[in-house]
Structure 1
Amino acid sequence: MDRQRKTDDTVQSLLYGETDMVPTEMDYINIISNASMMVKFVLLLLLFFSVMSWAIIIIKIRYIRKAFRESDIFIDYFWKSRDLAGAFTKAKQLGGSPVARIFRIGYAELRKLNPSGKPGEEPAAEKGAPSLRQGFSGSDNVKRALRRAINTEMTRITQMVPFLATTGNTTPFIGLFGTVWGIMNSFHGIGQRGSASLAVVAPGISEALVATAAGLAVAIPAVIAFNHFMQKIRVIETELHSFSADFLNILDRDILR
């Protein structure tokens, strides 16, 4: 019996160094505080990516929700009123709507074609100059203005989103670097102490696993958010192009005909 007990104690000593050192739960704070400087740097870098990506996620969620909500309000008003001047006033009140912003730019360009301030009336042609009906379509200017406005809006909407893709692509490899470094430390400890017990190997392995877990914890939300935002951005882009086409059709049919 005594021999069996000694054997069990020996096995536990080989695995954990001492029997009273068997952990009942993971103490992550101690693992991080006792990690090597390189692993701490890796974790600090991952923390930076995490904070930045979550800040972008929160900002973009609020921005896109507001864009959808106010765009729905503006489009509903636009089709119900069919009053361009009233829609322009409404668009100025809905600054978070990409659709309202491109309408304001298109309407401003339309006003330049008709300085009298009544878009329903064709501008009077100067003597010797062709009118809108003679070889020149006034909607071309509006079309170019809308195209520029859409490009500007898409640049604004996609701003900061690529950082999420960068985070999702790079942080697992940063965590993997920390993993490799932790394993190197483990083998270095084995070589110095000449022992392969977990008391020697465990600290480096713990560093490695923490770095891997941290890299994945940062990357997974960033990838999910990136895919979600890109899907929403494609919807907004389609909505902008659809509204632009409808607006130009109204101009060609009812105003600049």
Structure 2
Amino acid sequence: MGLILAGTDMGGRLASLDLFDLVWQASGVVQLVMLLLVVASIMSWAAIAFKWRELSGAEQDSEGFLDTYHEGGLARAYDAARQLERSPLSAVYLTAHSELQKFSRYAGRNEEEGLDDDQLHRIHHQIAWVSAQEELRLESRLSFLATVGSASPFVGLFGTVIGIINAFTGIGATGSASLAVVAPGIAEALIATAIGLFAAIPATIFYNLFVARLRELHAAIQLFEDELLADLKRTGVEAALAPARAAEG
């Protein structure tokens, strides 16, 4: 009978230890670890949502710009670049267009001819710089996701170690290794581990997904740069600027 009562008492004590009670009764260090992990998780989900929307917009506008460029060439590229501004390809084209406008002010050369090597070099230098800036813009917040994904399990592990220490401290204080004594410390340790994994797993998954999508965008930018320079090399300054001037006029 005594064993049954003890078991009943133990069951009652364990039943009362729901998740929120365990978090509330955890040691201050473990609570701080849990708080940091929850904040990191919330911030990582916000970064994931922002980055998903940003990359989706860049991909959608880039696809639309390339379709327009391949169908209409330089004649339709200017309008498409102004409308599809989320695409890094639009920024590349508008940079090249800005350089062409500078060339159109130069005298002493037949502007109906194709661009010379010096002009192509200047355009290539400018669009390479803009491409790098666009890639840095699209890569923003990825380092945060990488940090959360790599550090959160270790932060959770730190909370786990503290919880285990608290469990052994309870054993030493009571002289008993019963489940009722050990359970709170073990539970807070496992909760810290779970929160750490909850923060790390989505951050790692989406980081890898975003990196793969950025690689595709980077390849698209590089291919478009080569294609644009080849088209400009065959086209005179005035011929390249004529569609844009017609649209502005």
Q: Normalising by structure 2, report the TM-score.
A: 0.87
- Once the two structures are overlaid, the 10-residue window that deviates more, 208-217 or 67-76, is 67-76
Q: Secondary structure at the match of 1:109?
A: helix
Partner of 1:125: 108
1:192-245: per-residue Cα shift (whole Å, max 9, x none)?
111111111111101100000000010000000000000000000000000000
Partner of 2:244: none
Partner of 2:242: none
Say which one has the larger Rg.
1
Q: How far apart are the structure 2 equivalents of 1:134 and 1:111?
A: 13
Q: How far apart are the structure 2 equivalents of 1:81 and 1:92?
A: 15
Q: For 2:209, which of 221, 225, 228 is the aligned residue?
A: 228
**Residue 22 and residue 49 in structure 1: after superposition, are their counterparts in 2 closer, same or farther (change >3 A)?**
closer
Q: For 2:30, which of 39, 45, 64 is the aligned residue?
A: 39
| RMSD of Structure 2 on Structure 1 (CA) | 2.1
Q: How far apart are the structure 1 equivalents of 2:29 and 2:39?
A: 15
Q: Secondary structure at the match of 1:223?
A: helix
Partner of 2:89: 99
* Gap runs ≥5 in structure 1: 116-122, 127-131
Q: How far apart are the structure 1 equivalents of 2:41 and 2:3?
A: 47
Q: Higher relative CO (CA 8 A, sep ≥ 6), structure 1 or 2?
A: 2
Q: When the two structures are aligned, how many residues end up with a matched partner?
A: 234
Q: How far apart are the structure 1 equivalents of 2:126 and 2:47?
A: 30
Partner of 1:155: 136
Q: Normalising by structure 1, report the TM-score.
A: 0.85
Q: How far apart are the structure 2 equivalents of 1:82 and 1:133?
A: 16
Q: Percent identity?
A: 36
Q: For 2:98, which of 84, 108, 111 is the aligned residue?
A: 108
How do 1:1-257 and structure 2 match up within 5 A? 5-10=1-6, 12=7, 18-23=10-15, 27-84=18-75, 86-115=76-105, 124-125=107-108, 136-255=117-236
Asked whether the 8 Å contact 1:46–1:214 carries over to 2, the reply is yes
**Residue 134 and residue 68 in structure 1: after superposition, are their counterparts in 2 closer, same or farther (change >3 A)?**
closer
**Residue 77 and residue 134 in structure 1: after superposition, are their counterparts in 2 closer, same or farther (change >3 A)?**
closer
Amino acid at match of 1:87: A
